[in-house]
């Protein structure tokens, strides 16, 4: 109405329009908006996928979903939950799409899906809920052939393709350097090869790299030495560690990695799991509860412990019922 003063500031309509645009952009933003952490932040990745994949009896889909929901309820923000591989190779992961669909994870949860080829990457992307593609490479040619039937050259070529597809879909990529601390096959290994492999990954503009002690052969001294060497060249990257160990040696390994600069730790509650393609006898994952206790010795307290007793009981039940 002409002559009537408005109570809204003169530029309010412009601000309102801008606010609407910002909100719309936020809602349309791809779900996978995870960036590498700062050097002062510890990231704990819970790995039920690795814990489950070697179990002999099939875990029902609904049990997996209940467990993953319990993890989220306990405060876990980063979960290695599923893999998109041949069901003949890993029958336990044949229901990964169903698990993710039923889980319907919140937007602030990172869901890692392991893939070993382009088909697996396409399956993971198609879920609309996986936020990070996890891809194994290895210093050991023998392990690469056993694990995913690839040569080192083929492995790198596939990674390059997967990275492009992840970029197009707005997903992140984490690459695991399997056998980063040695191998049982007598394949050539040294610290320089670890650094070269990390460099090849970084050369593809992949920011997250995890060093894997796939068969639990590394001592704390070796872990500290190798991690420190990689951190010298890639301190601005999200460099992590995925260790297998006996329970007795786990804490010392965690502290060795932390003291060398590692701020990304993979673990599994109860130490369940291991790689079924690495050797005949599985060596368990580093127990999550041990990681939490070890980090507290360095003054790091992660907001994970609420509800952890319930999750540990569920994990023990799964281990008892489905180990075979």
Q: 99 near 81, Cβ under 8 Å? A: yes
Choosing from 47, 137, 262, 275, the catalytic residue is 275
Which ranges constitute the DSSP H helices of 30-93?
Answer: 48-52, 61-73
CB count in 10 Å sphere of residue 219: 14
Q: How long, in residues, is the chain?
A: 324
Q: 191 near 172, Cβ under 8 Å? A: no
Where are the strands (E) in the chain, listed by range? 43-46, 78-84, 110-115, 132-138, 172-178, 208-213, 238-243, 264-267
Q: 226 near 181, Cβ under 8 Å? A: yes
Task: Please confirm, yes or no, whether 275 is among the known catalytic residues.
Answer: yes
Most distant CA atoms of the chain, gap in Å: 89
Catalytic machinery residues? 275
């Amino acid at each position: 109405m002409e002559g009537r003063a408005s109570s809204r500031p003169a530029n309010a309509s412009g601000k309102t329009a801008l606010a609407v645009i910002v909100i719309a952009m936020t809602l349309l933003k791809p779900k996978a908006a995870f960036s590498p952490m700062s050097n002062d932040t510890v990231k704990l990745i819970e790995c039920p996928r690795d814990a489950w994949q070697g179990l002999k009896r099939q875990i029902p889909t609904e049990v997996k979903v209940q467990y993953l929901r319990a993890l989220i309820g306990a405060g876990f923000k980063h979960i290695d939950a599923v893999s998109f591989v041949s069901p003949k190779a890993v029958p336990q992961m044949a229901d990964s799409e169903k698990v993710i669909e039923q889980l319907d994870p919140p937007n602030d949860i990172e869901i890692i899906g392991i893939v070993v080829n382009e088909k697996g990457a396409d399956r993971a992307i198609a879920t609309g809920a996986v936020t990070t593609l996890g891809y194994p490479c290895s210093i050991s040619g023998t392990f690469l052939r056993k694990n995913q039937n690839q040569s080192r050259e083929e492995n790198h070529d596939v990674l390059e393709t997967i990275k492009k597809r992840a970029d197009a879909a707005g997903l992140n990529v984490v690459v695991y350097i399997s056998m980063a601390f040695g191998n049982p096959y007598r394949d050539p290994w040294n610290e320089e090869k670890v650094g070269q492999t990390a460099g090849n990954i970084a050369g593809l503009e992949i920011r997250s790299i995890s060093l894997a002690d796939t068969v639990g052969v590394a001592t704390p001294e070796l872990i500290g030495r190798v991690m420190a060497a990689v951190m010298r060249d890639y301190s601005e990257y999200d460099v992590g560690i995925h260790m297998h160990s006996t329970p007795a040696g786990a804490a010392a390994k965690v502290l060795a990695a932390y003291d060398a600069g590692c701020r990304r730790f993979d673990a599994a509650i109860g130490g369940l799991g291991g790689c079924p393609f690495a050797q005949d006898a599985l060596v368990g994952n580093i127990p999550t509860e041990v990681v939490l206790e070890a980090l507290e010795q360095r003054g790091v307290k992660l907001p994970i412990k609420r509800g952890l007793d319930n999750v540990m009981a569920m994990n023990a039940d799964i281990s008892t019922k489905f180990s075979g």
